[in-house]
Amino acid sequence: MARKFLYVVATLIVLVIAGGVAYSLFGNALLRRAMVPSVAFRAEPPMPANAYGDRALWFARPGLTNTPVDWLPPGVAPGAPGNAEIFFIHPTSFVGTDRWNAALDDGETNGRAQIFLRGQASAFAAAGRVWAPRYRQATFGAFLTGDDAARQALDLAYRDVAAAFDQFLADADPNRPIILAGHSQGALHLTRLLRERVANTPLARRIVAAYVVGWPVSRVADLPALGLPECTAADQAGCLLSWQSFAEPADPTLILERYDASTGFDGRPRSGTPMVCTNPLTGTANAVAPASANAGTLIPDKALETAAMTPGLVPAACGGRGFLSIGDGPPDLGPYVLPGNNWHVYDYSLFWANVRADALRRLATWETR
């Protein structure tokens, strides 16, 4: 499984099946029945002190070789690495329903995580040294229910991420700037790291940018608590980026249903509030850009073992409540588009080359300010 490149993920197969006739008939309830564990949450002890000092608990970090983040599209030269320390939190790769949190030694789950890291975290490697921890992530079904078990599972996962972040801060070069990035569940945990470990601390001055991708961030009820402003300029440093990709016709009901029923980080309701939408093609907020501005989308080969970077294929436009539209004619990246024309799994690969350039540009600004 780990040899496959970016798109073979069992979670998505389940969702695509649900996205057909069954989804049209039963909608979100079907997803919940299929993916939410029916077992009780099982509490697990916290990581031992300094557990993340063990390199075995990292998918990537300085000192490890041939990691998933070292992958580059054919024809793309690595170049001299930048001076940043990059902490990347991978998205959900555990889809089990027999427990709420993944085991650290789950080979299938770890294999999927490495697939995601190749297509996502690799975009940041040119900017510096990438650190990507393993963690006991919550299962996919935890995002489909408001049960206490789901909250407990996410709390357990976050505790691992926070422990890894503490080790990252202890071991990383204290004179280097920091890029924070994540996707989906990883982006959710990143918002908590920002609130609890970065906002209103001296560490905030070291942050080049925070890429909170594939997770909704309310401009009104969330952003003020995160300690970083929204990125509004392409060369701005010390700011936050976020986007969620949909093709047309888009139906973001699955996201809006949960979002509008939730409370923001500052205690106010999120209902009806706009989300942060950074256009990854321009690096600016609420922008529209043609496909010609796209420097490279990752297109998988037929064997799904690598991908070519192809420019000029996908436009991007922020609109509505803050979702990112990629138009009505996106390329064929595989069959794993989620219900509602949600291109969630491709949030990074659609704009891989622009994300790479964005990180380098913001790093250059940070280093000269």
pLDDT given for residue 18 in this prediction:
37
- Output 20 or 203, whichever has higher pLDDT: 203
Residue-wise pLDDT for 288-302, tens only, equals 999 999 999 999 877
Going from N- to C-terminal start, the domains of the chain cover 10-244+352-368
For residue 59, which of 50, 69, 72 has the smallest C-alpha distance?
69
d(CA 69, CA 104) in angstroms, rounded, equals 19
Model confidence over 190-202: pLDDT tens digits? 999 999 999 999 9
pLDDT in tens, 236-283: 999 999 999 999 999 999 899 889 999 999 999 999 999 999 999 999
- pLDDT for the residue 260: 96
Q: What is the pLDDT of residue 303?
A: 66
pLDDT, one tens digit per residue, over 136-177 is 999 999 988 889 999 999 999 999 999 999 999 999 999 999
Segment 294-316 shows an average pLDDT of 90
- pLDDT score, position 182: 98
> Which whole number is the average pLDDT over 362-367?
98
Tell me which residue of 137, 140, 92 sits closest to 116, measured CA to CA: 92
As given in the structure block, the two tokens for residue 178 are 């920091």
The per-residue pLDDT for 271 is: 97
Quote the pTM value: 0.93
pLDDT band at 369 (very low <50, low <70, confident <90, very high): confident
pLDDT (mean) for 102-121 = 94
More confident residue, 305 or 183: 183
Q: What is the mean pLDDT of residues 126-131?
A: 98
Per-residue pLDDT at 102 exceeds 60: yes
pLDDT category at 304 given cuts 50, 70, 90 is low
DSSP string, 215-250: S--BTTTTHHHHSSPBP-STT--SEEE---EEPSSP
Sign of CA dihedral 325, 327, 331, 333: positive
Phi, psi of 135 (to 5 degrees): -155, 160
Q: How confident is the model over 8-66, as pLDDT tens digits?
A: 333 443 434 333 333 443 456 676 777 899 899 999 999 998 999 999 999 999 999 99
